[in-house]
Amino acid sequence: MPISMIALSNTTLNQLPPQVLVPAYDRSKTTPGIAHLAVGNFHRAHQALYLDRVLARPGQQNWAIVGIGLRDNARETRRATIMAEQDCLYTLTEFAPDNTHTTRVLGAITDYIQAAKDRTATIRRLADPAIKIVSLTITEGGYYVDASGKFMLKDPAIAEDLKRPVPETAFGLVTEALRLRRDNGTGPFTVLTCDNLRDNGSIARTAFCAFAEARDPALGAWIRKNVTFPSTMVDRITPSVTEADTIRLDDMSGIADQMPLFAEDFTQWVIEDNFCAGRPELEAVGVEFTDDVGPYEQVKLRMLNASHSMLALPGLLMDYDTVPHAMGDAALVTLLEQFLAQDAAPFITPPQGVSLHDYAHQVLHRFRNAAVGDQLLRIASDSASKLPVFWADTVKGVLKANADHRRIAFGIACFLEYLRGETESKKPYTLSEPGLPEHARALALQDDLAAGLTMPVFAGWGLEQYPAFVKDVVTLRSSLRTHGARATLQQLDL
Ligand code: CS2
């Protein structure tokens, strides 16, 4: 660490460079009212930022966050170690598209537990009457709800956990904590999902209630009756942080943060106001409350996330590495502009007052933010879980309306070719598809180029009813292999 850099901890908070904003409240006077499961970059840059603002408000000091790491691996252990060394403090640098930035130290997470180290203690912590909300970012694929809306009780990860006396999944930990709370008369907490899913509150309800009912029907019934699962729409582009990013961010801030974060300057959080055990004054710090999150979710998932994937999959094949690099390619920008305006928007009913035209414009503006430099590989990762959420409704809409299907056929063809793990110049990359079992991925590698469309990713999309579409996907795949993504996109002549 260069001598001029200051380590981050409670004791150094008042010695930090003056341009860095610090918590505007006394952390020692706060207590956790929220437990967050799976503390990734997105949680630290989004929900924890809003709670940092809440904690600075009068009478809101009981809404700090206890972070709970679920994984049992070296990365998680490192995170827990750093959290302890830094008193759970970290820097977040927000970049505007004009490259101006603000760095702040966030203090809302005041405690951090690695569940794998002591699961019984974790369950007891969740059962603490002070905890009123258990929030989660366990990823799109992390809910084990299949295309027909059923919780996958037979999946080995779930089946095993149902049998463990002290469970280890998010579902198991929450179920057992709620058992203690019921038995102690503490009452329920709200389960607040912050993952990008359609109707994410209902999906969370399906998953948690089904798990609990399978483990103990009476407890399951109590949870179904007493726990609330508000839907949310969360939005903030938060790239992965490489070692080079860490050095750059720390150089900029003058702070030796071992786990700094960066994000775009845009942030949005819309929540259904349905909290069974109270909630912080989030409406005072920029959160929108509504009775129906659905329209917000639709717009965000089917426009922002969907076009992220529509950019990342061909972009990767074309050897681009980041979003702004790919956005420098005129053909990809045309693809996105047309996808947003002609494929996605016509089948979306936006919330009142939201213009889809303006939203599309804003999405592209956000993607051009060069300082954010989001990695295409991060966005492409777990596409098997994301595409059913981000693309399926658009694809169904376009096909049913018998509209121009070139862009979605190209997108799907790129997804299937991306599963081969190399760019058009034959550069390999590491696939991260936790939701795609090897036997399903094998379908995308067969000589029969239509076989990939039978993988579970596409269950319920109804593609088999559109043979002309299937034929076009096959033709595009073969063109991607022979001519590459760049030439194939040119030939689409959009
Ligand atoms: C991205 C999201 O990974 C992805 O698929 O589209 O992480 C996106 O950056 C966030 O949802 C933005 O809110």
- Which tens digit of pLDDT belongs to each residue from 172-228? 999 999 999 999 999 999 999 999 999 999 999 999 999 999 999 999 999 999 999
| pLDDT for residue 494 | 95
CATH of the domain at 18: 3.40.50.720
Report the separation in Å between the CA atom of 193 and the middle of ligand 1, taken as the mean of its atom positions: 15
Last residue of a domain, one of 290, 325, 342: 290
What is the DSSP code string of 184-243?
HT----EEEE-SS-TTHHHHHHHHHHHHHHHH-HHHHHHHHHH-----EEEE-------H
- Nearest ligand 1 atom to alpha carbon 46: 13
103 and 10 together in one domain:
yes
Last residue of a domain, one of 290, 324, 339: 290
Report the separation in Å between the CA atom of 195 and the middle of ligand 1, taken as the mean of its atom positions: 10
Query: How confident is the model over 128-145, as pLDDT tens digits?
Result: 999 999 999 999 999 999
326 and 308 together in one domain:
yes
Last residue of a domain, one of 290, 313, 344: 290
Q: How far is residue 459's CA from residue 146's CA, in Å, rounded to a whole number?
A: 9
Which is it for strands 133-136 and 32-37: parallel, antiparallel or unpaired? parallel
Does residue 3 have a pLDDT over 60? no
Average pLDDT, the chain: 97
Q: How far is residue 241's CA from residue 262's CA, in Å, rounded to a whole number?
A: 8
329 and 423 together in one domain:
yes
In whole angstroms, how far apart are CA 362 and each of 302, 335, 482? Answer: 14, 16, 35
With a 6 A CB cut-off, is 193 part of the ligand 1 pocket?
no
| pLDDT for residue 4 | 76
Using most ligand atoms within 8 A of CB, pick from 304, 323, 369, 391 the residue to mutate for ligand 1: 304
By the 8 A CB rule, do 179 and 171 touch? no
In whole angstroms, how far apart are CA 81 and each of 32, 174, 263, 463? Answer: 20, 24, 23, 48
284 and 308 together in one domain:
no
> In total, how many domains does the chain have?
2
With a 6 A CB cut-off, is 308 part of the ligand 1 pocket?
yes
265 and 300 together in one domain:
no
Does residue 456 have a pLDDT over 60? yes
Report the separation in Å between the CA atom of 305 and the middle of ligand 1, taken as the mean of its atom positions: 6
Would you say residue 51 lies in a domain?
yes
As a whole-number percent, the residues of the chain with pLDDT over 90 amount to 98
CA angle 42, 44, 49 (to 5 degrees): 110
Instruction: Give 260: exposed, middle or buried? Use CB within 10 Å, 0-12, 13-18, 19+.
Output: buried
Using most ligand atoms within 8 A of CB, pick from 197, 305, 381 the residue to mutate for ligand 1: 305
177 and 96 together in one domain:
yes
With a 6 A CB cut-off, is 382 part of the ligand 1 pocket?
no
pTM of the model: 0.96
Three-state SS at 439: helix
By the 8 A CB rule, do 89 and 6 touch? no
State the average pLDDT over residues 328-334. Answer: 98
Greatest C-alpha distance within the chain: 66
> Amino acid letter at 129?
P
Would you say residue 130 lies in a domain?
yes
With a 6 A CB cut-off, is 61 part of the ligand 1 pocket?
no
| pLDDT for residue 55 | 98
Count CA atoms within 13 Å of residue 127 on its CB side.
Answer: 18
Does residue 365 have a pLDDT over 90? yes
Nearest residue (by CA) to ligand 1, atom 9, is 237
Would you say residue 455 lies in a domain?
yes
Would you say residue 1 lies in a domain?
no
Would you say residue 164 lies in a domain?
yes
260 and 340 together in one domain:
no
- Nearest ligand 1 atom to alpha carbon 235: 13
203 and 216 together in one domain:
yes
Report the separation in Å between the CA atom of 379 and the middle of ligand 1, taken as the mean of its atom positions: 7
Domain that holds residue 330: 294-491
Would you say residue 178 lies in a domain?
yes
285 and 315 together in one domain:
no
190 and 224 together in one domain:
yes
| pLDDT for residue 356 | 98
State the average pLDDT over residues 155-164. Answer: 97
Token pair 């610090």: residue: 22
By the 8 A CB rule, do 119 and 41 touch? no
| pLDDT for residue 2 | 54
CATH of the domain at 317: 1.10.1040.10
Query: How confident is the model over 461-474, as pLDDT tens digits?
Result: 999 999 999 999 99
In whole angstroms, how far apart are CA 242 and each of 248, 249, 259, 262, 374? Answer: 10, 10, 10, 11, 11
179 and 324 together in one domain:
no
Cα–Cα nearest to 101, from 252, 260, 236, 238? 252
With a 6 A CB cut-off, is 27 part of the ligand 1 pocket?
no
With a 6 A CB cut-off, is 235 part of the ligand 1 pocket?
yes
Nearest residue (by CA) to ligand 1, atom 13, is 235
257 and 303 together in one domain:
no
Query: How confident is the model over 245-300, as pLDDT tens digits?
Result: 999 999 999 999 999 999 999 999 999 999 999 999 999 999 999 999 999 999 99
Q: How far is residue 424's CA from residue 402's CA, in Å, rounded to a whole number?
A: 31
Q: How far is residue 50's CA from residue 55's CA, in Å, rounded to a whole number?
A: 9
| pLDDT for residue 1 | 53
